[in-house]
Amino acid sequence: MTPFRRRRVLLWIGMAAPVLALITTLLAVALFPGFDHATQFLSELGAGGAKHPQVFNAGVAMAGLGAGIAGVGFGLTILALGGPRLPAALTALAFVLAAAGLVISSLYVWPDPRHLAINLGLGIQLAPLFLLWGLARAEGVGRLRWFLAAVFMLMAVLTVITKHMVFPGTVNPANVGWWERAFAVVLVGWVGVAAFLLERRLIALASESAEIDPGETSRPADGGHPITHASHLRDRRSITN
């Protein structure tokens, strides 16, 4: 089996989820004549006022499921790169909760109060911190760590502005839709980028492992038989999934 194959498949789903969310949203907008990006919320694409709300709601549900699967992939990748279990588990949990919120919100559309379960998706804002923790000692992910730090700061800024904690009046009924879209792009988009960079790192790690010369000989310190098989020279941790 190709090294890290299973983890990489999970990360591929993480790359696909934001693209799927974008495509279904654009399609839902095209099927909603007169939809105003400046004043209307994205949730309205799946509400009763839309002619084809099932398009948007199906996209939200599938993107949510993809995010949950990607979160498991992030957690397993942290472990594969030598990270501790706790941040790996917290990363996966943040994504699974977000997935639950998105799926529930797609079943109970706005203005049903149960639609507010979508706020569970905001837990993804903490996922960059969990990933940073898990990858603190990992090699070859320096650019990813800088990216995660920048994403977390950007989401924090957008949160305090859109919640009117600073610069009151900046977000208003005339432009709230654009602010929501900006937040959504960052909130969802970073997942695909992080999944891509981690998948590249797994490929590089597998390649590094395969570079050991199969004919290389290593004699144990106790004077036993020399080890000549390349698999005996590698890290004992499995790299097959």
How far is 5 from 27, CA to CA, in rounded Å? 33
How much is the pLDDT for 216? 46
Tell me if 238 is assigned to some domain.
no
Q: What is the DSSP letter of 45?
A: G
pLDDT band at 234 (very low <50, low <70, confident <90, very high): very low
Q: Is the pLDDT of residue 240 over 80?
A: no
Tell me if 224 is assigned to some domain.
no
How much is the pLDDT for 109? 85
How far is 91 from 101, CA to CA, in rounded Å? 16
Taking a C-beta distance cutoff of 8 angstroms, is the pair 123, 64 a contact?
A: no
For the chain, percent of residues with pLDDT exceeding 70: 85
Tell me if 99 is assigned to some domain.
yes
Tell me if 116 is assigned to some domain.
yes
Tell me if 219 is assigned to some domain.
no
* Mean pLDDT (whole number) for 75-88: 95
Q: Is the pLDDT of residue 2 over 80?
A: no
pTM for this entry: 0.82
pLDDT for 178-232, tens place per residue?
A: 999 998 899 889 999 999 999 999 998 888 776 554 444 444 444 444 443 433 3
pLDDT for 124-173, tens place per residue?
A: 889 999 999 999 999 999 999 999 999 999 999 998 998 888 888 899 99
Q: At what angle do helices 176-210 and 127-134 cross, to 10 degrees?
A: 20
Range of the domain at 151: 5-210
> Using omega within 30 degrees of 0 as the cis cutoff, is the peptide bond preceding 111 cis?
yes
How far is 164 from 186, CA to CA, in rounded Å? 19
* Mean pLDDT (whole number) for 38-43: 91
- Locus of tokens 């610069």: 167
* Mean pLDDT (whole number) for 96-118: 87
Tell me if 236 is assigned to some domain.
no
Tell me if 29 is assigned to some domain.
yes
Task: Provide the 3-class DSSP secondary structure of residue 227.
Answer: strand
* Mean pLDDT (whole number) for 12-32: 93
How far is 132 from 150, CA to CA, in rounded Å? 11
State the number of CA atoms in the 13 A half-sphere of 65 facing the CB.
Answer: 7
How much is the pLDDT for 238? 43
Of residues 236 and 77, more confidence is placed in 77
Please enumerate in sequence order all residues whose Cβ is within 8 A of that of 202, keeping only pairs 6 or more positions apart, or say none.
3, 4, 7, 8, 11, 77, 80
Beta bridge partners of 227: 218
How much is the pLDDT for 211? 58
Of residues 43 and 1, more confidence is placed in 43
Q: Give the residue among 86, 91, 99, 85 at the shortest CA–CA distance from 72.
A: 91
How far is 167 from 186, CA to CA, in rounded Å? 20
What is the domain count for the chain?
Answer: 1
Tell me if 126 is assigned to some domain.
yes
Amino acid identity, position 186 = V
For the chain, percent of residues with pLDDT exceeding 90: 56
Give CA separation, 136 vs 123, 157, 212, in Å: 21, 24, 26
- Locus of tokens 């149960």: 114
DSSP letters along 172-192, please?
A: -TTTHHHHHHHHHHHHHHHHH
pLDDT band at 241 (very low <50, low <70, confident <90, very high): low
Lowest mean pLDDT among 111-120, 204-213, 229-238: 229-238
